[in-house]
Structure 1
Amino acid sequence: MPDQLHARVAAFLDTQHVMSLATAGPNGPHAANLFYVRDGLGLVWVSDAGSRHSLDIASNPAVAATVAPDTAEHAAVRGVQMHGRAARVDDAAEAQRLRAALAERYPFLKELARAPEALRSAFAQVAVYRLDPDDVVLIDNSRGFGHKERLMLRREG
């Protein structure tokens, strides 16, 4: 069952493109919507190291994220909730691998090679971040109102 749930979570994440990342830092809670790519069940994105969510992660790596399509029908509500730890990817080779995965998922990133120098330079300066989840919940109201399945990836305590 955990392998099947893992596969269903991965498949769902692959159909979506934007996550809402929640962080907490010195100025309190914060949420940001970000493009992501899935790496295992980890979520990867690029961001300015000076953005509020990036600064929050630097001071407190505990984060939560949601991914869900927009719908007005209760039976169509589906999504993933997760919490875990996020960090900047400082290993150059790993950051390059993850940037390539993002560019593969989002063609506009491949087109940056033909973009004006200022835009290429700005993108080259953003940092790569990764959320490694401890706990993942798959929500699927098509299987019953409030239907949830939980995948524990790391033991608590």
Structure 2
Amino acid sequence: MAAQDPSPAEIGHAITELLREQEIVTLATVASDGSPSASVMHIAADGFRVYMHTFVRTRKYGEMLANPRVSYAASHLPARGYDERELTRSLQVKGRAVLVDDLGEIEHAIELSRAQFPWADRSGLYTKAKLPAESQQIFFRIDPDEAVWADNRVRMRWRVVVDFAEDGSQITAVRPYGDLLAVRG
């Protein structure tokens, strides 16, 4: 008998769990010539939304301001690699980058960072929250639109497409992964 697929609520829980556990993601932005640019970034998760801290004198900062369409990938790769492949899970998100320009939301992103990763509290990196116009350090919030969730704990090569509400705060639909492949014809 085949194992039952997880419910949307269970998928949501697994996604938020991965985002709270994983410190590093690969972020893809769109360069001015239309080509993709990739950066390795620290994240702080707030449900399905993530905050990324960066500096104003970076390529990704300019690219996200010019074109807020972004993508990022996060994954859990087990310590024993291939021998534990049944524990692998990953998330590939398409979303929108929003420059955080509200002091309360900046403080929220800092609190999430400090709570999620002890080094952030010890580093002194976030000693004083400032608005983007007053600082070289800024936060972007990534609001998800669509994601591919792969979870080998369900079964090998199991994956689905996850759609999110416009504000990225909740899952609105879970669709078969084959829906993405159907557009190829």
Instruction: Name the TM-score, length of structure 2 as normaliser.
Output: 0.72
1:7 correspondence with 2:18:
no
- Check whether the contact 1:19–1:36 (CA below 8 A) recurs between aligned residues: yes
Match of 1:148 among 150, 156, 159: 159
Q: How does 1:105-120 map to 2 (within 5 A)?
A: 105-113=116-124
Q: What is the aligned partner in structure 1 of residue 57 from structure 2?
A: 50
Q: What is the aligned partner in structure 2 of residue 30 from structure 1?
A: 37
Amino acid at match of 2:31: G
C-alpha displacement of 1:90: 0.6
Give CA-to-partner distance per residue, 1:60-85, whole Å, 9 cap, x none: 00011100134541444311111110
Give CA-to-partner distance per residue, 1:26-74, whole Å, 9 cap, x none: 1421111111111120111110122111111000000111001345414
Q: What is the aligned partner in structure 1 of residue 182 from structure 2?
A: none
Distance between the aligned counterparts of 1:148 and 1:5, measured in 2? 10
- Check whether the contact 1:6–1:151 (CA below 8 A) recurs between aligned residues: no
1:81 correspondence with 2:87:
no
Distance between the aligned counterparts of 2:151 and 2:108, measured in 1? 32
Q: Which has the larger radius of gyration?
A: 2
Tell me how large the CA RMSD over aligned residues is.
Answer: 2.4
- Check whether the contact 2:20–2:116 (CA below 8 A) recurs between aligned residues: no
C-alpha displacement of 1:120: 6.0
* Regions of 4+ moved over 6 Å: none
SS in 2 for 1:55: helix
Amino acid at match of 1:30: S
Q: List runs of 5+ in structure 1 lacking aligned partners.
A: none
Instruction: Name the TM-score, length of structure 1 as normaliser.
Output: 0.83
- Check whether the contact 2:95–2:145 (CA below 8 A) recurs between aligned residues: yes
- Check whether the contact 2:18–2:76 (CA below 8 A) recurs between aligned residues: no
1:134 correspondence with 2:132:
no
Match of 1:60 among 53, 67, 79: 67
Amino acid at match of 1:141: N
The share of aligned pairs that are identical, in percent, is 21
SS in 1 for 2:29: strand
Per residue, is there more helix in 1 or in 2? Answer: 1
Q: What is the aligned partner in structure 1 of residue 180 from structure 2?
A: none
1:104 correspondence with 2:115:
yes
Q: List runs of 5+ in structure 2 lacking aligned partners.
A: 1-6, 167-185
Q: What is the aligned partner in structure 2 of residue 92 from structure 1?
A: 103
Distance between the aligned counterparts of 1:95 and 1:154, measured in 2? 22
Distance between the aligned counterparts of 2:19 and 2:112, measured in 1? 14
Distance between the aligned counterparts of 1:82 and 1:66, measured in 2? 6
